[in-house]
Structures are given as structure tokens and as C-alpha cells.
């Protein structure tokens, strides 16, 4: 089939940039903003996405739907789109690009298949289009040709096997390292803060762990802006590890770190307006205020 109109659900930080890139490469890009907040509406406007209002309207126009939203909403979004497909009598290609476990991807795929639509499993790795080299979309499923046709249109598309869950599995193990490491760094530093040894620890890191310290300074102060939506991703990674027979507690702990960071005042920031002058030491002082009481304290 010829893909001419692509829907982005929903145009957040990644979604709006993907939509903008596709529009710049000649595609008509639509979205549905009924019930969405002002931040999402502003991002959609910046990207030049056309708001058609409802999911029914999306399904009536789109040749392909890219679902890019927090992982906790992936299944419910698919169910809502499947209902819209039945209402409209149209079955555009549905691509789940969310950070979900292989098992969740299979559930989403089953919902879409039951509505009679083609389904592609996808996992996004990298920064949004317009930032650096752009992201890579790993894709898998029985027919991934519609996504492979988008390769080079602001991002790379890399085909995997024909199994639903392979692309999601790739995303899970990759993010298990990246976001898992950032949360481990945060947990180590918060423990040092609680023990009163942050200064000496950072001095030792500067001496013997220079690369890790650089990552800490670059990432840890700015995690709260994304922390609320990354809780669900860590839970999906934990489930993926458990299903594979690997220890899952690492990423249960990572989810707890993101829950803590989501309680801090910095969580109200966005990537566009966060205070980039904030130091690691400044951030740790605030994070520590939101830690639970020490186990040996009454």
C-alpha cells in the first residue's frame, strides 16, 4: 500500500519531532488532540501537525498510525484505536513504538489484529529527530515494509525478524543499560548524600571513575523532567528480565528512583525549559529531601 498520511499518537517530545520530520519529507501528518494538555498542543503546533480531533477521525484519514506515548498507556491506546477502526471500517497500519516488554507488545498486537489491521512492533533508540544523528527505529513483525519505507526520513529504520516482540525486546535491553545506569548512579549518590560522604566520593570518582562522573554530572541533575513517564518503562524492563529468567530487581529499584525524582520540584520542568545551570550537588541536595526516612530512624 502507498503511505501518504501518517498519524502521530501522541505528539510529545519524541512524537512531535518524528511528525515534523515526516512532514518535512512530504507526508501529511495528523494527530488527535481532544482531551490533550496545552504542552502537547503546543508541541503539535510547533511541528505543524494537523489536529483532526478524535481517534475516529484519525482512523478515517490515516494510512499508518505511530503510537508514541508513555508505556503504561500503550495497551489502552491500542484498544481505543481498535474500537475506532471498527467504527470507521478502516484498518490503517498500526505501529507500536512504545517502550514496552515483548509480552506487552504481543498483547497490543493481538488487539490490533483482532480489529483486522496490520501491526508492526517498533522500539525507538536515540534522541528525537533534529538532535544529533536522530533516532533508530528497530522494527519487527510479519510485514515491516511500510516502516522500512520511512528509512532516512528524519530517522533510521532497522529491520529485525518477523516476530512480534523482537523490536520491543531490543528497546528493553538497551534502556535497561542506559536508564538503568542513570538510576544506579542516582541511588549511589543519594546513599552517599545520606551518609555524609558525597564530597569525598566525588573526589574519588574524579580520580578513578572520570567517565562515570562525567555521565553523572551530565544526566543526574536533569532526570526529573522525564521521571514520571520512565517509571512505567522500568516496570516493563523488569517484566522483560523476569520473563527471560534474569533478575528483575535492578529495574524495580530503577522505577523507585524515578518515583522519588517525580516528587521533586524539578519534575515540573520540560526538556525545553529545564534549568541547565543546575549542578549535580544542587540536585542531590533537593533529591535527598524527598528520600524516605532512614531505616534506623523512628
Q: For the segment 225-280, what is each residue's pLDDT rounded down to a tens digit?
A: 999 999 999 999 999 999 999 999 999 999 999 999 999 999 999 988 999 999 99
Q: How many domains does the chain have?
A: 2
Residue 145 lies in a domain: yes
**Final residue of a structural domain among 148, 163, 178:** 163
Confidence of residue 296 (pLDDT cuts 50, 70, 90): low
Contacts of 76 (CB under 8 A, 6+ apart): none
Q: Say if residue 64 is in the same domain as residue 156.
A: yes
Q: Say if residue 55 is in the same domain as residue 174.
A: no
Size (the chain), residues = 298
Q: Name the packing angle between helices 166-195 and 210-219 (round to 10°).
A: 100
The stretch 33-37 carries a mean pLDDT of 93
Q: Say if residue 137 is in the same domain as residue 234.
A: no
- Exposure string of 117-137, with b = 16+ CB inside 10 Å and e = fewer, is bbbbbbbbbbebbeeeebbbb
From 23-37, 57-71, 220-234, 283-297, the region with the lowest mean pLDDT: 283-297
Q: Say if residue 96 is in the same domain as residue 187.
A: no
Residues of the domain holding 272: 169-289
| Residues linked to residue 41 through DSSP beta bridges, in sequence order | none
Q: Say if residue 154 is in the same domain as residue 249.
A: no
262: domain CATH number? 1.10.1040.10
| Residues linked to residue 5 through DSSP beta bridges, in sequence order | 28
Confidence of residue 298 (pLDDT cuts 50, 70, 90): very low
Residue 294 lies in a domain: no
Cis omega before residue 10 (within 30°)? yes
Q: Say if residue 90 is in the same domain as residue 67.
A: yes
Residue 296 lies in a domain: no
Q: What is the pTM of this model?
A: 0.94
Q: For the segment 39-81, what is each residue's pLDDT rounded down to a tens digit?
A: 899 999 999 999 999 999 999 999 999 999 999 999 999 999 9
138: domain CATH number? 3.40.50.720
Q: Say if residue 153 is in the same domain as residue 209.
A: no
Amino acid at each position: 500500500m502507498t503511505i501518504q498520511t501518517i498519524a502521530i499518537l501522541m505528539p510529545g517530545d519524541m512524537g512531535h519531532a518524528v511528525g515534523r520530520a515526516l512532514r518535512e519529507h512530504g507526508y501529511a501528518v495528523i494527530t488527535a488532540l481532544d482531551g490533550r494538555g496545552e504542552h502537547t498542543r503546543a508541541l503539535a503546533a510547533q511541528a505543524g501537525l494537523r489536529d483532526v480531533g478524535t481517534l475516529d477521525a484519525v482512523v478515517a484519514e490515516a494510512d499508518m498510525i505511530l503510537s508514541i506515548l508513555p508505556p503504561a498507556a500503550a495497551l489502552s491506546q491500542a484498544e481505543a484505536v481498535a474500537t475506532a477502526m471498527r467504527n470507521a471500517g478502516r484498518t490503517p497500519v498500526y505501529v507500536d513504538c512504545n517502550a514496552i516488554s515483548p509480552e506487552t507488545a504481543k498483547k497490543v498486537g493481538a488487539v490490533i489484529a483482532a480489529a483486522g489491521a496490520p501491526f508492526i512492533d517498533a522500539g525507538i533508540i536515540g534522541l528525537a529527530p533534529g538532535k544529533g544523528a536522530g533516532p533508530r527505529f528497530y522494527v519487527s513483525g510479519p510485514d515491516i515494509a511500510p516502516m522500512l519505507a520511512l528509512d532516512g526520513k528524519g530517522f533510521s529504520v532497522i529491520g529485525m525478524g518477523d516476530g512480534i516482540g523482537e523490536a520491543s525486546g531490543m528497546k528493553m535491553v538497551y534502556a535497561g543499560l542506559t536508564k538503568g545506569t542513570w538510576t544506579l548512579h542516582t541511588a549511589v549518590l543519594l546513599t552517599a548524600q545520606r551518609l555524609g560522604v558525597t564530597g569525598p566520593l566525588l573526589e574519588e570518582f574524579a580520580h578513578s571513575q572520570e567517565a562515570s562522573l562525567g555521565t553523572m554530572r551530565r544526566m543526574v541533575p536533569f532526570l526529573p523532567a522525564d521521571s514520571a513517564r520512565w517509571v512505567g518503562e522500568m516496570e516493563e524492563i523488569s517484566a522483560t528480565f523476569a520473563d527471560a529468567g534474569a533478575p528483575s530487581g535492578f529495574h524495580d529499584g530503577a522505577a523507585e528512583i524515578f518515583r522519588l525524582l517525580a516528587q521533586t520540584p524539578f519534575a515540573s520542568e520540560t526538556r525545553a525549559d529545564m534549568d541547565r545551570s543546575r549542578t549535580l550537588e544542587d540536585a542531590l541536595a533537593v533529591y535527598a529531601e524527598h528520600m524516605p526516612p532512614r531505616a534506623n530512624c523512628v
